[in-house]
Structure formats: C-alpha cells, structure tokens
Amino acid sequence: MEERPGAQEESPRGPREQYTWGYGAAWQQYHTKTSAGAQRVSFLLPYLRSGMRLLDCGCGIGAITVDLAQQLAPGEVVGIDIAPVQVERSRALAREKGVANARFEVGNVYELSFPDAAFDAAFAHRVLEHLSDPLRALREMRRVLKPGGVAGILDPDRASILLSPSTPMLQELSSLVLRILEHQ
C-alpha cells in the first residue's frame, strides 16, 4: 500500500510541513541505498569526529543517521522526522545493524525539542526543499548547536538541473517537478 503524507497542518507555532514525494515503497528502497559514505554526505565527514553529538533533521528511514552513528561512536546521534512511520523504520534499521548510539524521535525542525547548545553537529539531507520557511528551520538548527558547532545541509537546486540529452518528456518531467515544489 502506498503511504502518502497528509495535508499540511498548522501547529501553534507555525506550519507542519509534509514530505513532497511521500513514503511509498519505491522511495523507501531508494533511501535504503543511501549511506553516510555516499558522495552526498562526504562534504560533512571531515568535520566530524568520534564522540560528537549530532542531530539529523529529517532522518527519513535512518540510513544516513545509522551510518553517522557508527562513525561517531560513542557519541550520540539523534534523528528526527515528522512522520512516525519513518521514525519506526529508523529504529528498526538501528536494531537490525546493532547500532545502540542512535535514537529516533518524531519531531518538527521548526520546533526542536532540545535545549540550546545541545549538539556538536546538525545535519539535514534534502529537507529544506520541502519547507515553506527554510530560514526558520535553519535558525532552529543553529539554536541547538554548541558554539563552534558544525551544520551540514544538502539540498538540490532544482531550477538549475541540466538534463542532457534533453527530450520533450524529460523537459515536461522537470517542469512538473518544479510546479509541485512551488505549490507545496
């Protein structure tokens, strides 16, 4: 059964965002292949060291989070996601891999439930593109970082995607994706 996010909801402090692409099996399989050693996270690895405490905002199924926890052990890695189904998947992956220094919570990047200066590092992989107020989310991530902490943010710039060789179908796909993202 294809799982789709619900309509955007308002909390007392602002919007509760939704994941544009949904939580279906095809996306879960794609994210399962993602790891911290992959090219998409390698930019952050030189700034991390064993024993750090890291917050992963929008952890999804936890594939990157669990890998980061293994690299930062004995440091704690906390993954948050707005979707309870993703948090359960993350917990299952951590159990399956025997990773005890990762924990997962349902959370909203606009309203992090952690005190100021609680983390050495914060990470968000393909999260900001789904938010109506990314600057607000970045400010909240900064709030929970210790002075001198590091933030790793990776999001695509969909407007600059180059499709080559271009075909009418690929151009239409690109146009549709941009329209979806503009109307979230």
Region 50-61: mean pLDDT is 96
Q: Judge whether 177 lies within some domain.
A: no
For residue 123, give both structure tokens.
């990470």
115 or 22, which is more confident: 115
Which residues constitute the domain of residue 79?
9-157
The half-sphere exposure of 97 on its side-chain side, counting CA atoms within 13 A, is: 21
Helix boundaries (H) for 73-146: 84-97, 134-144
Q: Judge whether 183 lies within some domain.
A: no
Q: Judge whether 60 lies within some domain.
A: yes
Q: Judge whether 15 lies within some domain.
A: yes
User: Looking at residue 39, what is its pLDDT?
Assistant: 59
The 8-class DSSP code of residue 129 comes to G
pLDDT per residue as tens digits for the range 127-155: 998 888 999 999 999 999 999 999 999 98
User: Looking at residue 80, what is its pLDDT?
Assistant: 98
Q: Judge whether 49 lies within some domain.
A: yes
Taking Cα atoms as reference points, which of 135, 134, 137 lies closest to residue 184?
134
Q: Judge whether 13 lies within some domain.
A: yes
- Highest mean pLDDT: which range of 16-25, 35-44, 127-136, 171-180: 127-136
Q: Judge whether 115 lies within some domain.
A: yes
User: Looking at residue 5, what is its pLDDT?
Assistant: 37
User: Looking at residue 37, what is its pLDDT?
Assistant: 47
**CB contact at 8 A, 119 and 140:** no
Q: In total, how many domains does the chain have? A: 1
Question: Residue 16 sits in a domain of what CATH number?
Answer: 3.40.50.150
The residues, any chain, with a CB within 8 Å of residue 5's CB and separated by 6 or more, are 18, 19, 22, 23, 83
Whole-model pTM?
0.74
Would the pLDDT of 82 be above 80? yes
